[in-house]
Amino acid sequence: NAGVTQTPKFRVLKTGQSMTLLCAQDMNHEYMYWYRQDPGMGLRLIHYSVGEGTTAKGEVPDGYNVSRLKKQNFLLGLESAAPSQTSVYFCASGPGTNLPQHFGDGTRLSIL
């Protein structure tokens, strides 16, 4: 039982490059979330989804886009990476009660 799987685990980008972070869950959860974690800031919600085909903005959505074409997958895209987006990104999922219960191991993203 994998739970929530994030790929890749690490990535280094140059300013202006684009990339997509993939999150997959095998628990049939309706809700999925993308957070970023910076030192001393806790976790901040970027975007979330309440079901297949839906997305919504969180606290810090600027510079990111998401898609939820399949229930089990939630993609986070950076169209033009900036150094301010250097962070650890966590994906989470949960049942239909807006409660992130299961987190992936995170993606460490550095933008030079």
Site for other proteins contains 40 (CB under 8 A): yes
**Which of residues 13, 23, 25, 33 is near other proteins by CB under 8 A?**
33
Site for other proteins contains 43 (CB under 8 A): yes
Task: Residue count of the chain, please give it.
Answer: 112
Give the integer Cα–Cα distance in Å for 60 and 3: 25
Between CA 69 and CA 76, with CA 70 as vertex, the angle to 5 degrees is 60
Whether omega before 8 lies within 30 degrees of 0, making that bond cis, reads yes
Site for other proteins contains 102 (CB under 8 A): yes
**Which of residues 19, 22, 27, 45 is near other proteins by CB under 8 A?**
45
**Which of residues 7, 58, 63, 86 is near other proteins by CB under 8 A?**
58
